[in-house]
Amino acid sequence: MSKKLVIGMFGFGVVGQGLYDIIKTKDLNLEIKKFVIKNADKKRSLPAELFTTDANVILDDPEINTVVELIDDADAAFEITKRALSTGKNVVSANKKMIATHLEELVEIQHQHGTSLLYEGAVCGSIPIIRNLEEYYDNELLHSVSGIFNGSSNYILSKIFNEGQSYDVALKKAQDLGFAETDPTLDVGGFDPKFKLAIVASHAYGLYINPEEILNLGIDTLGDADIRYAREKDYKIKLIPLAKEIDNKQVVLYVLPKFIKKSNILFNVENEYNGVLVKAAFADEQFFLGKGAGGHPTGSAVLSDITALRYDYRYEYKKHLDAERVKYTKDYTITAYFRYEEEDILENINFINISERFYSENHKYVIGTINIQEIIDKRSIIHQQGNFIAEII
């Protein structure tokens, strides 16, 4: 029989409201006792007595056995999560930056205090990829995990390639629909999928990697010339994170825009949808598709974690038991398209070889092989004057 959960929830924004909408339609043996919110004056859809601005009301309440953390502030979320786990409360979180940055410490706290932190909603919205990596692939040799992890950037790219909208118009529409923030840098700059990639890599390969050590370049410098090149080749551009095991038991991680061919299963993942592609030694290739943005899709993943806690579910982090098997590396070569403005910029970026060059009055590009470490080292140069780089796969 499941135990009753008494919940204290931090945040009542898009995901919090979406979660509540789902919960009120179910009979799940749980009770939301209190919400902690930032703005006490904002009009809410629930009675005012359910809300407070004091975190201690939840954290010091012995009746509350489960904390649901759905706030934007990663630093504040970490303090809430750390304190809750350390005082015997289980936690469900959707804060991918907080989890990616502090995962190793949070795992240790769980082990020390016998509590559980679940975060399916932090990675790829409604797709249960963390649970699958933990359970279905727990004894599997994974060749790679990649896909579309950010619904906001994918929505923008879909509008550009399917409807001919400009980047600015597509971004504005994504913001109006709540898929992108007022400051969209986390999404279009590739930071959001990088945090998710760090979490995925931990469950796939047993690695704790500081997200700052992972290369991320986004679609924020995408230009008309890049879109035209993709259309001429019958490609689409997608923002793709990759975790891949290569020779000598090493794992490479990075987030880059990529030119996707029609034959690639990710080619037809559109709008706010996410798609996760897992390639494994025994299970071969499997694909997960689901909505990656919006209150209800993410809320459904959060609810899945909440209901799992009724049966004392916790991640076992089995891959970490064999973590010495693999190491993280940035020494990996890709084939890339690089569009630039000033000719002398190529003197400062070390392409291993260049197979194609294009010059016109308005722009120039090269296609060649380049090392991921070189892109990291020359990131500031690459971003100068709106230069754009993308992997060709």
Cα–Cα distance measured from residue 107 to residue 96, given in angstroms and rounded to the nearest whole number:
15
pLDDT band at 243 (very low <50, low <70, confident <90, very high): very high
Q: Which of 11-15, 120-124, 332-336 has the highest mean pLDDT?
A: 332-336
Reported as a single tens digit per residue, the pLDDT across 94-130 is: 999 999 999 999 999 999 999 999 999 999 988 999 9
Average pLDDT, the chain: 92
pLDDT band at 212 (very low <50, low <70, confident <90, very high): very high
* Residue of 96, 159, 196, 291 marked catalytic: 196
pLDDT band at 45 (very low <50, low <70, confident <90, very high): confident
Q: What is the pLDDT of residue 77?
A: 97
8 Å CB contact between 331 and 370: no
Q: What angle do CA 91, 93, 95 make, to 5 degrees?
A: 145
Report the 10 Å Cβ neighbour count for 105.
12
All domains in the chain, ordered by first residue: 5-128+296-321 (3.40.50.720), 131-291+325-392 (3.30.360.10)
pLDDT band at 27 (very low <50, low <70, confident <90, very high): confident
Average pLDDT for residues 36-48, to the nearest whole number? 85
Q: What is the pLDDT of residue 393?
A: 86
Q: Residue 174 burial (CB < 10 Å; 0-12/13-18/19+)?
A: buried
8 Å CB contact between 313 and 146: no
Average pLDDT for residues 211-216, to the nearest whole number? 97
pLDDT at 1 over 60: no
33 included as an active-site residue: no
Reported as a single tens digit per residue, the pLDDT across 135-176 is: 999 888 899 999 999 999 999 999 999 999 999 999 999 988
Amino acid at 139: N
Q: What is the pLDDT of residue 40?
A: 80
Residue 234 DSSP label: T
pLDDT band at 233 (very low <50, low <70, confident <90, very high): very high
